[in-house]
Structure 1
């Protein structure tokens, strides 16, 4: 073959190869174009399906740029919705044969969960940006809408709660969160969202933020019944307090803050610690596949917080367990086959018999004839720390107990303890402290699986062993243990330090300093009750109150009244409740609190006799109802009310000084005054305090309306 022939053959082969390459690229381009056209039609179709949300107050941003993408990038977010129910980042998919199992998403047999990881990250980044405004992290939701599907909403726990929902259910799902943001809050959020999600192309801002008239190819839009379902979902959504969705920016950022180990959040009453803890529990649940435990000493608070989370973050409510500390320990023992006979009457009898034999007529009785002091010593100091030998007790600092005990007195206390333990064994029963000790031992032997984080509210009320037990569940893992509380609100004996429980929060402590709940008048009145009070803080050493640096709200002065009899007192309390209701205060916003169960029951009886509906805190679960809430101050810890009436207050607790008290009596008085402080700071707008035989001239209290009857 000639040289020219060979050259022509090579060129022919080259051109054929080039043509094949062009054909291949053209086919790929046609395939890509087809996918883009399907995506375009899918996005327009879903936009039309979501159109009824415009009438529900939602603003739509369509075809927005991917946050942080380089200039000119075509990476886009299909829709961003801002409305009464929060912020929704919506991506549309034309996928078929979709299923969810184990918190992961499948198309047929293929696991496509990781394909959505970038979208989930957009949600996390948006949370961070909007936290600067104070929007709680849970109010940003990432939603994948499956075009043409009627699949119910399912959250992917492996992607921080990203939700997958069928097109036919999407608008009802979004509107089902109800009204969580005010119009002013929506406008503030919308501005930040528009800046965070830039428009695609050259257009600086969207000309029209409403849904365009869709041009749909494929399935018809929502039926009349489906549109009705969208509106009905909004009407049926339980109303939610605005503070739950919108926090102070410092609070919102604290909810999302990551700690390298156990952390503590503390601050004065009213600074929003419990609210932050609730949001943090939901936030931690979204970021993990495990469960989150929220616990505290008082049994009422977990029930209330559980109800609030059902409204606040229903998508993770099944993975957050709210439980009282003793209830949790009993469940652990029961599930592991450890049988315990918890019988408090028998346990009390066991102590009384030990006191009669060892204490009453002996050295301890001569030091303090009040057996309650010594019962607290056994339960809170010895068993609360898990002491097992006299040598441990002999060297113990006994933080928080004013009365000093010498070696001989401590030997008698130990004798009392041993007799009490023998009496318990003979009766075949245990006390609450034993339940905690048994559960702690079990958890140390075999840790609890599937728990990602533990959040402890009112942590200062827990014993040393309780903290050790909870710490054993999560150890020192990042964000595993969050302690929330205020040493000033400690109302139980037996102080200790975190170091005794093997927990360190060094470098991981946060102090909240703005009182968002109380008015200045209420905060000042309550603070005067505990002014100069010293307590043992769990971080070690004598504590001083974390004073609120700012109290923005003002209101009427608290009312302090004294009465010659309980009958006069109770009649005045009922009259004050009646006047509040007459002034348009909902009965459900009123809390009537007392120090003892007996007094709380008496006040509940008086209110019922006057025709008021009452719900006792022992059965209160956080449900909304126009019923006056009545209970002990201890039961009200962590709660708040617009108006609080503190009834049957012991007059000596309001006195400037009380002479002649020994160390034990002085310790009890300080604890009771801190309890009174807790009760007063439950009030948001108004506070009424009633007592008997109160002498105004002997009071620390200033700026209150005082009267004697």
Structure 2
């Protein structure tokens, strides 16, 4: 050993040359050190006792929650307790409930003095909202995982249970906060949203996502871990609150029976509302860095995806979501569907037709406008008489309606205000070519019509859209809508798209256009570039047909197999074809009738035949016509035969056991188990496109597309009658 140094009994080397402390000083220092060490142990012990108390309370309260939910097992639910929190080494999920009502991630909180206000939750003076947001985040991640098996967004619920509480039904952001006496009823009331097959698929994925906790979480301590007795007897949650016993039932047997009966009696939701194809579920959740387009052939679930996407956007961002479409009556039907599909967010989604939306803008901005159908018709008649009557466009090849569409959809619908804009305009979707002289007359007709409207102090519906769009350009809206979802987007005009785009601009996920160019039944085609909208690289295609049988789709597709149309993205397209058709059924029935009376007789007979089938009633039948006259004739014949009827113009989506009768345009976006198409003329099907001139071919194209729309509304059966 080196000179000048030694080692004491504790192994610590000291230098002999160092000055040594007096004995009293050394003892005092050691006493202080030991006292400090003792105080540290006391603090650690106190922390350990507090932690043990918390775990003991949690154990008891979690057991109570599990006991409260146990009756759900009899209704087809699976209760997964003490699962690993995905992505965490130590955190656990109290309970994951999987069953017909969806997926519920349940976390029990033994909190006292809880207040909820302004979307925040406080425990005493402490804001504990972030604690619940971690649960919300887990639900969101789980939603993404389960989308891979087709569970629709919104069917995963974050539930915070307040131990020892009853009569609690609150929300903090996306988290549902309930008392432990209320949680059974809250889950059971969801009713049946998933079938057995869907529950099995979701359960299998949940077992992979939420792995079982093999043992207790490790405890970090320098002392031997104490052996704690199993909790028993009363556990005091907090001072001033009642003692709770694990074995004490939260609900009486009668209360449990009432809660379960409420769930069993809840109206079942169609499986397509809660369980999608994984491709559909991923599109619903997909984020686009700007305007996006979702397209697909008839029957591929575009409207379903549009509704789910609206609900998803409403859940994941602040502000309201606008769902709009051209058909005036469709928004009411869509609102009813969303009420069943996503009741938690239906109040944050606004449904309105494009014209209703435009009117509201003008009313709020104080812009005077007047719509009067009689005065509009009078203005058109006067303009035609002054300019077009006897001119080069006044021939038997086109009725006045054709030229009215040219003015309303091509000129006004595309926002043209100068002759130079129209002179060389590619008239997308209009096969009838116009020479310079014809175009000049059409433009003069437009100018005369505008003057007649002004002289009468009225506007037409195209003016209503243009005025609203101009208002939004003059003063851009701020924060009215966080997103806009457009169903049947192919039916809108260029100015309509510009108006809706103005609400959200190019914000991520701001504008979603949903539709199918094959189902375009209005003239006046345009490109999104004209509207100032780009969806480049932000498109999705649905290619599996879920609605129609193979037989129905094959029959309907014969009408449009050679059809070409101008797509809104600026290309000439032939229509999307589904890669899969999942269902098969009876062949469509096509009958040639001796006359109108024979057709009406056969129609009534067909209605009685299909409602005699098991699972089909009057409310499942749609009788569709190209014209209002056909609707009136069918309605009269059905009523005379004692068949209950509702006109599609008055149908708002509320289930009603009446045959739905209406024009094909009113049926867009709807579906029926059985469809009857009642005013077909046989020659419309037999005429060959190559033998027609451009005038008749354009007329034929639009008519066949409309019939295609009607036939593809049919889910199980199709009946077509011609004379």
Question: TM-score when scaled to structure 2?
Answer: 0.90
1:210 maps to which residue? none
- Map residues 428-577 of structure 1 onto 2, 5 A cutoff: 428-444=457-473, 445-577=475-607
Deviation at 1:55, TM superposition (A): 2.9
Deviation at 1:679, TM superposition (A): 0.3
Deviation at 1:462, TM superposition (A): 0.4
2:631 maps to which residue? 600
Alignment equivalent of 1:146, drawn from 146, 162, 166: 162
Deviation at 1:661, TM superposition (A): 4.8
Inter-partner Cα distance in structure 2 for 1:187 and 1:384: 50
Deviation at 1:224, TM superposition (A): 4.7
Inter-partner Cα distance in structure 1 for 2:127 and 2:311: 26
Inter-partner Cα distance in structure 2 for 1:562 and 1:322: 41
1:36 maps to which residue? 55
Deviation at 1:550, TM superposition (A): 1.7
1:248 maps to which residue? 277
Q: Deviations over 1:256-276 (max 9, x none)?
A: 111111111111111111111
Question: TM-score when scaled to structure 1?
Answer: 0.92
2:390 maps to which residue? 361
Deviation at 1:108, TM superposition (A): 4.6
1:60 maps to which residue? 79
Q: Does 1:612 pair with 2:643?
A: yes
Inter-partner Cα distance in structure 1 for 2:167 and 2:112: 11
Q: Does 1:263 pair with 2:279?
A: no
Contact kept in structure 1, 2:480 and 2:503, CA below 8 Å:
no
Deviation at 1:670, TM superposition (A): 0.8
CA RMSD of aligned residues (A): 2.0
Inter-partner Cα distance in structure 2 for 1:320 and 1:146: 30
Inter-partner Cα distance in structure 2 for 1:266 and 1:185: 26
Inter-partner Cα distance in structure 1 for 2:202 and 2:691: 60
Q: Deviations over 1:439-458 (max 9, x none)?
A: 11222223152411111111
Moved more, 605-614 or 353-362: 605-614
Inter-partner Cα distance in structure 2 for 1:202 and 1:166: 29
Deviation at 1:506, TM superposition (A): 0.6
Contact kept in structure 1, 2:517 and 2:575, CA below 8 Å:
yes
Inter-partner Cα distance in structure 2 for 1:675 and 1:611: 29
Inter-partner Cα distance in structure 2 for 1:85 and 1:109: 36
Moved more, 541-550 or 682-691: 541-550
Q: Does 1:180 pair with 2:196?
A: no
Inter-partner Cα distance in structure 1 for 2:547 and 2:314: 27
Closer/same/farther in 2, CA of residues 552 and 226 from structure 1, 3 Å limit: same
Q: Deviations over 1:278-332 (max 9, x none)?
A: 1111111110121111111112321111111111111101001121111111122
Contact kept in structure 1, 2:135 and 2:158, CA below 8 Å:
yes
Deviation at 1:109, TM superposition (A): 5.1
Closer/same/farther in 2, CA of residues 406 and 194 from structure 1, 3 Å limit: same
Deviation at 1:552, TM superposition (A): 2.5
Deviation at 1:658, TM superposition (A): 6.6
2:40 maps to which residue? 21
- Map residues 618-697 of structure 1 onto 2, 5 A cutoff: 618-657=649-688, 661-692=692-723
Q: Deviations over 1:361-392 (max 9, x none)?
A: 22321485521111111110111011121111
Inter-partner Cα distance in structure 1 for 2:84 and 2:377: 68
1:86 maps to which residue? 102
Deviation at 1:112, TM superposition (A): 2.5
Deviation at 1:166, TM superposition (A): 2.3
Closer/same/farther in 2, CA of residues 557 and 281 from structure 1, 3 Å limit: same
Closer/same/farther in 2, CA of residues 611 and 506 from structure 1, 3 Å limit: same
- Map residues 159-198 of structure 1 onto 2, 5 A cutoff: 161-198=174-211
Q: Deviations over 1:533-559 (max 9, x none)?
A: 111110113221111122122211111
- Identify unmatched segments of 5+ residues in structure 1: 204-212, 693-709
Q: Deviations over 1:389-424 (max 9, x none)?
A: 111112321111112223332222221111111111
Q: Does 1:119 pair with 2:135?
A: yes
Deviation at 1:336, TM superposition (A): 2.7
Deviation at 1:597, TM superposition (A): 1.8
Inter-partner Cα distance in structure 1 for 2:299 and 2:232: 50
Structure showing greater radius of gyration is 2
Contact kept in structure 1, 2:192 and 2:264, CA below 8 Å:
no
Inter-partner Cα distance in structure 2 for 1:301 and 1:115: 41
Inter-partner Cα distance in structure 2 for 1:646 and 1:608: 17
Inter-partner Cα distance in structure 1 for 2:703 and 2:170: 49
Deviation at 1:669, TM superposition (A): 1.8
Closer/same/farther in 2, CA of residues 103 and 398 from structure 1, 3 Å limit: farther
SS of the aligned residue for 1:495 comes to coil
For these two proteins, the number of residue pairs brought into alignment is: 677
Inter-partner Cα distance in structure 1 for 2:114 and 2:681: 65
SS of the aligned residue for 1:499 comes to coil
2:122 maps to which residue? 106
SS of the aligned residue for 2:300 comes to coil
Inter-partner Cα distance in structure 1 for 2:234 and 2:272: 40
Contact kept in structure 2, 1:52 and 1:230, CA below 8 Å:
no
Inter-partner Cα distance in structure 2 for 1:424 and 1:114: 59
- Identify unmatched segments of 5+ residues in structure 2: 1-19, 217-230, 236-242
SS of the aligned residue for 1:247 comes to coil
1:695 maps to which residue? none
Q: Deviations over 1:609-641 (max 9, x none)?
A: 222222221121222232211111111111111
Inter-partner Cα distance in structure 2 for 1:418 and 1:214: 88
Moved more, 485-494 or 362-371: 362-371
Inter-partner Cα distance in structure 1 for 2:103 and 2:689: 57
Q: Deviations over 1:36-94 (max 9, x none)?
A: 22222221222222233233322111111101223xx2x11111101110111111112
Inter-partner Cα distance in structure 1 for 2:423 and 2:260: 69
Closer/same/farther in 2, CA of residues 224 and 376 from structure 1, 3 Å limit: same
Alignment equivalent of 1:307, drawn from 321, 332, 336: 336
Alignment equivalent of 2:311, drawn from 257, 273, 282: 282
SS of the aligned residue for 1:467 comes to helix
